[in-house]
Amino acid sequence: MTYPSSPLSRWLFFGLLVNVSPVLAAPWANNSYNPKPDSEDIILPMPCDGSMAFRRVDIPVSGPLDDLPITLGQDGGEWGFVEHSYPTFIAGDFTDPKKGKGRYYLMAKYELTALQYQALMDGTCPTPARKLDTPATGMSWFDAVTAANKYNQWLRSNAIDKLPKEDGNPGFLRLPTEAEWEFAARGGLKVNSAEFRDVHYPMDDLKNYEWFSGSQSSNGRVQLIGLLKPNPLGLHDMLGNVSEMMFNPFYLNKLNRLHGQAGGFVVRGGSFQSGPDEIRSAVRKEVNYYDNANPLTSKTTGLRLVLVAPTMTSTAKVKQLEKSWAALGADNSDADKKKTESKDTAKELGSLASGVEDAGLKQKLKDLENQLRASNQKQQEERAQSIRASLNLGSFLCTKLQDDGRFLDFLNHNYELLCKDKDGSDANCVIRKAKLGEQADRLQQLTGYYASSLVDSATLYGQEGLKREVTVFDQMLTINKRLSALKPFLAAHWQNQQKYLENGKIDNAGWLESCKKITGIK
């Protein structure tokens, strides 16, 4: 090998060798970044032949301005001004035509490890070691944002084809918002609505899922990633181990909304130094960005990244947004417009305002239009929730019709087989006949309740309103595998409802048979 002759050239040459040689080390072992692999994991490459695992968080809405209403926080306790429940909304970033009409965002499966952090931030590649498979701590909020920025730049320079795209635009990594984090921490749509609102996601024993203080758990030390069971979305250590930094600043709670003052940054989830009662989905704390003259750091705080997409990705997307915005808060749904010729009051106010020359009066009319549209929009969102609740009830009642209907058939079969040719003196046959009558009465009551529910919701919501939410509710059942067995019952219930909407006939026997015929998940 020929070396440069001048001292400065030799110094630069050998310095370059030092910086490059660690990159030639072997790729990371799978268990250093994904110790609990799963077929639904999404893996992105990292510098230094590393990787990071992500999980999908699905949301079953697809329109440009569609979002899902959720309730975050927790009622009760002395920390109401911090944790009290409040309504908010969430929507995914990426569309996936192969898996239906919903959207999703990606969340890191584990907290960012020390190995991953060093690979992003250090000038040379770290040597993989077991001790580096613990969550990275001791960085400031600004360091966390810098790490995300470095990862984004590296991906765009070295692996842009690995990034999911929305409307042709590659996604990007950042810290999660509180809504993104808490929605995922509670289990998203992998849990039912009651489980979502519980203190933490369903688990048999806290110590099997999350690290907290005490000898029964962390014993006062940060732990390796992936040792315990994941939450229903397949995310590990969402609660406990290390607290996780959020992208948005801290706001106090003011009953049904957040207070107007923005403070420091937020950390969520508790850490290995938190007591078991502090390990809950609603726990949130404010942290100052600075400690005297320096950015604040903590040995109990780390981070987890999300992968999201820009909102306004193209001219075509902007036009879709404009069209959706113009339709927000219209007085009547499509179904209602077919039944009535009433005008859209909000649009009428807008037209009236455009023809007024007095600036003050024009502004008042526009304000009134916006208030009316906002009120209409809220009513429509509440209506959509009510429709989904009615579909849930109808689908569940269809399962009960199947159970009770088949049981009645079973009792009938046995009675015909064992008692058909006997007189009324056989005691067993008398008992069988009585049970047969009781079951027939029970099924008749259930069939009547199902019919009433079906007719009421069909009359109240109409074909178009129901059809739109059937698609959303079906996606919700697809996402939540524990409830996916309800999908064929939803299909049968919707078919029954459509027949009623077409002919207006109450067909108790036909509706019962449609539920009884269901054999399994479609």
Q: Residue 68 is part of a domain; what is its CATH number?
A: 3.90.1580.10
Q: Which of 139-153, 313-327, 365-379, 479-493 has the lowest mean pLDDT?
A: 365-379
pLDDT band at 348; cut points 50, 70, 90: low
Q: Is residue 3 part of a domain?
A: no
Looking at the structure, do residues 269 and 162 belong to the same domain, yes or no?
yes
Q: Is residue 201 part of a domain?
A: yes
Residues 228/205, Cβ–Cβ less than 8 Å: no
Q: Is residue 31 part of a domain?
A: no
Residues 222/242, Cβ–Cβ less than 8 Å: yes
Looking at the structure, do residues 254 and 110 belong to the same domain, yes or no?
yes
Q: End of a domain among 278, 308, 338?
A: 308
Domain count of the fold of the chain: 3
For the segment 276-298, the average pLDDT, to the nearest whole number, is 95
* Extended beta strands in 60-194, E state: 68-72, 86-90, 94-95, 103-108, 165-166, 169-170, 172-174
Q: Is residue 461 part of a domain?
A: yes
- In angstroms, the Cα distances linking 278 to 79, 86, 322, 442 are 12, 20, 44, 47
Q: What digits encode the pLDDT tens for the residues 114-129?
A: 999 999 999 899 999 9
Residues 263/249, Cβ–Cβ less than 8 Å: yes
Looking at the structure, do residues 180 and 111 belong to the same domain, yes or no?
yes
Looking at the structure, do residues 238 and 118 belong to the same domain, yes or no?
yes
pLDDT band at 75; cut points 50, 70, 90: confident
Give pLDDT, residue 14.
39
Looking at the structure, do residues 284 and 327 belong to the same domain, yes or no?
no
Residues 192/339, Cβ–Cβ less than 8 Å: no
Distance CA 510, CA 68 (A): 35
Q: What digits encode the pLDDT tens for the residues 432-468?
A: 999 999 999 999 999 989 998 998 888 888 898 899 8
The CA dihedral of 387, 393, 395, 399, to the nearest 10 degrees, is: 180
Give pLDDT, residue 186.
96
**In which element (H, E) is residue 18 found?**
helix 7-20
Distance CA 362, CA 354 (A): 7
Looking at the structure, do residues 270 and 134 belong to the same domain, yes or no?
yes
Q: Is residue 418 part of a domain?
A: yes
Q: Which residues of 101-138 are buried (b: 16+ CB within 10 A; e: fewer)?
A: bbbbbbbbbbbbbbbbbbbbbeeebbebeeebbbbbbe
Q: End of a domain among 379, 396, 421?
A: 379
Distance CA 495, CA 514 (A): 9
Asked if pLDDT for residue 335 goes beyond 50, the answer is no
Distance CA 17, CA 32 (A): 26
For the chain, what percent of residues have pLDDT higher than 90? 62
Q: What digits encode the pLDDT tens for the residues 488-498?
A: 999 999 999 99
Rg (CA), the chain: 29
**Structural domain that includes position 422:** 384-516
Q: Is residue 477 part of a domain?
A: yes
Looking at the structure, do residues 76 and 142 belong to the same domain, yes or no?
yes
Give pLDDT, residue 342.
42
Q: What is the DSSP letter of 168?
A: T
**In which element (H, E) is residue 382 found?**
helix 359-419
Q: Is residue 30 part of a domain?
A: no
Distance CA 265, CA 270 (A): 15
- Total number of residues shown for the chain: 522
Looking at the structure, do residues 321 and 189 belong to the same domain, yes or no?
no
Looking at the structure, do residues 365 and 493 belong to the same domain, yes or no?
no
Tokens of 103: 């959207």
Contacts of 137 (CB under 8 A, 6+ apart): 114, 222, 242, 297, 298, 299, 300, 301, 302
Q: What digits encode the pLDDT tens for the residues 221-273?
A: 999 999 999 999 999 999 999 999 999 999 998 887 889 999 999 999 999 99
Q: End of a domain among 351, 379, 407?
A: 379
- In angstroms, the Cα distances linking 397 to 401, 493, 518 are 6, 9, 13
Q: Is residue 34 part of a domain?
A: no
Distance CA 354, CA 360 (A): 12
Looking at the structure, do residues 360 and 390 belong to the same domain, yes or no?
no
Distance CA 401, CA 508 (A): 11
Looking at the structure, do residues 200 and 70 belong to the same domain, yes or no?
yes
For the segment 404-429, the average pLDDT, to the nearest whole number, is 87
**In which element (H, E) is residue 287 found?**
strand 284-287
Contacts of 86 (CB under 8 A, 6+ apart): 71, 72, 73, 253, 255, 256, 257, 258
Asked if pLDDT for residue 522 goes beyond 60, the answer is no
Give the mean pLDDT of the chain: 87
Asked if pLDDT for residue 180 goes beyond 90, the answer is yes
Residues 357/370, Cβ–Cβ less than 8 Å: no
Distance CA 119, CA 90 (A): 32
Looking at the structure, do residues 140 and 220 belong to the same domain, yes or no?
yes
Tokens of 163: 């990034």
Give pLDDT, residue 13.
40
